[in-house]
Structure 1
Amino acid sequence: MSDAPHLTFDLDMPGVSRGHLVVPGGADHGELLLPVFSLNKGEGPRLLVTGGNHGDELEGPIVARRLIEWLPGAQMCGRVIVVPVLNPLALEAWSRNTPLDGLNLNRVFPGRANGSITHRIADAVSRVLLPMADTVFDLHSFGPKWDCLPAATTHPIADPDLMARTVRMAEAFKLPLTLVWPHNDTAGMFDITAQNQGKVFVCSEFGGGTVGADNLAIYEAGVRNALIALGLVEGKADYPIFRHQSFAQTLETRLSDELKSPAPGIFEPRCSVLDEVKQGDLIGILHSMNSLSAESIDIRAPETSIVLAIASGAHVDANKVVAYVARPLKI
């Protein structure tokens, strides 16, 4: 095992700095260098922006690179650290998980210094970068197989003050959706590690499917809105237009709102994101691949709700999520 994780430059240096976060090598992979951008303008908010946590979600790295382009001419105070790609090995393979060890980076935080490469990436980020920030924006998307509302999300947080501050920060993105989203597998998630340290952490889910110019403009506007709310840049926030309409709601979802395929087959979506559905409305149909005589299976809304994400038409295994629904948040 090589030296401890470290930066190749001093974050406290005024102005723009560029360098790398050094992830130490191990038996499975040599030393890994993650490009890091920093703009330090003295007193003020301390923000960490990361992308590429999952290698098949390309919107985050693209928006992070756009941010680096215009931030030097716009930032007024504070410090912003940008890491466009947290997991370059997964990105190169266009994979959610790291190919070398098969691990999901967003399930191994805070990582281990003596673990496999995914654990060592998480350890380097947790030990070197996370202490430098008060607020974290982790830029995700639903990936290529989903249609999803652009959303700023958080999980339920036990501390009511941190929960309120986090929801307000998420709403400041002014994306079409602000979502409080419980997970049943939160162990090892980046946001849990940050929230345990009292930091405001917003995970943006920048849509899904095709990575196109129109959607990227919405995602970039959302990040800029959040920077304005933090006081890092000047300007007037705006609600981006999504699919020819201005839409902004704060919703919550439950584990029961994960609509799953009861059997393997081809999923056919029968509604779109933003659709309002009532109990029993058709969300999609599952078609058997093994028999033309077998009846297709309807997947229906459990109650009155809004469709926030739906899978593209594709083969799915049994018990795989094919749609998410949600309803207005009540605090």
Structure 2
Amino acid sequence: MSEGPHLTFDLDQPGISQGHLVVPKGADCEALSLSVFSLNKGAGPRLLITGGCHGNELEGPIVARRLVEWLPEAQTCGRIIIVSVLNPPAVQAFTRNTPIDGLNLNRVFPGRANGSVTERIADAISRLLLPMADTVFDLHSFGPTWDFPPSTTTHPIADQDLMAKTIKMAEAFKLPMTLVWDHPDTPGMFDISAHNQGKVFVCAELGGGTIGAENLAIYEAGVRNALIALGLIEGKAECPIFRQRKSSQTLQTRRPADELASPARGIFEPRCSMLDEVKQGDLIGILHPMDSSSAASTDIRLPSTSIVCGIRSGGYVEVNEWLALLARSLAH
């Protein structure tokens, strides 16, 4: 019988600590060691920052490593735990899901101690790190086939007090968009496990398919703003410049109307950009058939006046694949 998940160091010791979260071996692979950084400066907020949940979203691990470089001089109180790569096999393979078992780590929380490797990772995080935090920042990006602005996202939460705290924390990043996404309560999502424990959980996202210096700077600035809001570091929060302007807006989606799906197979040509305000009937893209050069293309028009949160950045799509994610201002 293999030993259970464990940390190689004591998170409660003061100052900087570094070591590993060991995920036990199973029938499918040997044990994994997830690098963990902890900075404990006594009383104050308790924050867990994670990246690399999905292996093809590398902005999170990069920003998490940047934090490790400057936090020791900047942090004034509380404790911050950073796991820059939650899913090493997926990151090494640059795949969304774990290549060993094909599972999506963000769909198997709280995990299983005797499950496959992805479930064992979730179990280790759920048992040993999540209870140590009051707030979680999970650093994602929207994937290589979408244009999506630097954003913070959350889902509707039944606990209205926790919902208000979560939106306030998400807005503290001051990124161009805060999105309350009416996403189905997919079993096994990391944020649902955190919410069930009363934790404030904010997911940071950005898209575009490439790791650019400007986006990384905006992402890091947003995390810094949130650390200031928590009182973990000192300073003045500022809205990052995005698309030549400083702005921040809070939006909400409605399912399923705001998830614009493709009516057919083809190559999608976007005709609008993220954060564009578009009116009902406006052209937002064209779907070109691939099997005939003479067949007519299909105009994709907006069903209702909305703001474009995200848009497919071109590419081949199947029937019912998303072409755009739409939203409108949140009143709160």
Range class of TM-score, shorter chain = over 0.9
Matched residue, 1:211: 211
- Cα distance in 2, alignment partners of residues 114 and 216 from structure 1: 37
Unaligned runs of 5+ in 2: none
- Cα distance in 2, alignment partners of residues 254 and 286 from structure 1: 24
Please report the TM-score for the alignment, with normalisation by the length of structure 1: 0.98
Does the 8 Å contact 1:228/1:237 carry over to 2? yes
Matched residue, 1:306: 307
Does the 8 Å contact 2:140/2:205 carry over to 1? yes
Does the 8 Å contact 1:34/1:83 carry over to 2? yes
- Cα distance in 2, alignment partners of residues 108 and 309 from structure 1: 26
- Cα distance in 1, alignment partners of residues 184 and 12 from structure 2: 38
How far the C-alpha of 1:206 sits from its partner, in A, is 2.4
Please report the TM-score for the alignment, with normalisation by the length of structure 2: 0.98
Amino acid at match of 2:258: D
Q: Percent identity?
A: 74
Residues 223-234 of structure 1 correspond to what in structure 2 (within 5 A)?
223-234=223-234
How far the C-alpha of 1:305 sits from its partner, in A, is 1.0
Does the 8 Å contact 2:144/2:207 carry over to 1? no
Does the 8 Å contact 1:89/1:99 carry over to 2? yes
How far the C-alpha of 1:208 sits from its partner, in A, is 2.8
- Cα distance in 1, alignment partners of residues 189 and 275 from structure 2: 27
Moved more, 252-261 or 151-160: 252-261
Matched residue, 2:324: 323
Superposed CA offset, 1:124-170 (max 9, x none): 00000000000000000101111111111100000000000000000
How far the C-alpha of 1:209 sits from its partner, in A, is 2.1
Query: Residue 61 of structure 2 aligns to a residue in which SS?
Result: helix
Moved more, 128-137 or 239-248: 239-248
The alignment's C-alpha RMSD in Å is: 0.9
Kindly indicate whether residue 286 of structure 2 is the aligned counterpart of residue 282 of structure 1.
no
Matched residue, 1:92: 92
- Cα distance in 2, alignment partners of residues 187 and 263 from structure 1: 29
Moved more, 299-308 or 32-41: 299-308
- Cα distance in 2, alignment partners of residues 299 and 92 from structure 1: 37
Q: What is the aligned length?
A: 331
Unaligned runs of 5+ in 1: none
How far the C-alpha of 1:25 sits from its partner, in A, is 0.5
Matched residue, 2:235: 235
Moved more, 182-191 or 55-64: 182-191
- Cα distance in 1, alignment partners of residues 24 and 299 from structure 2: 50
Runs of 4+ in 1 over 3 A off after TM superposition: none
- Cα distance in 1, alignment partners of residues 207 and 331 from structure 2: 24
Superposed CA offset, 1:106-131 (max 9, x none): 00000001110000000000000000
How far the C-alpha of 1:185 sits from its partner, in A, is 5.0
Superposed CA offset, 1:194-220 (max 9, x none): 000100000011233221111100000
Matched residue, 1:45: 45
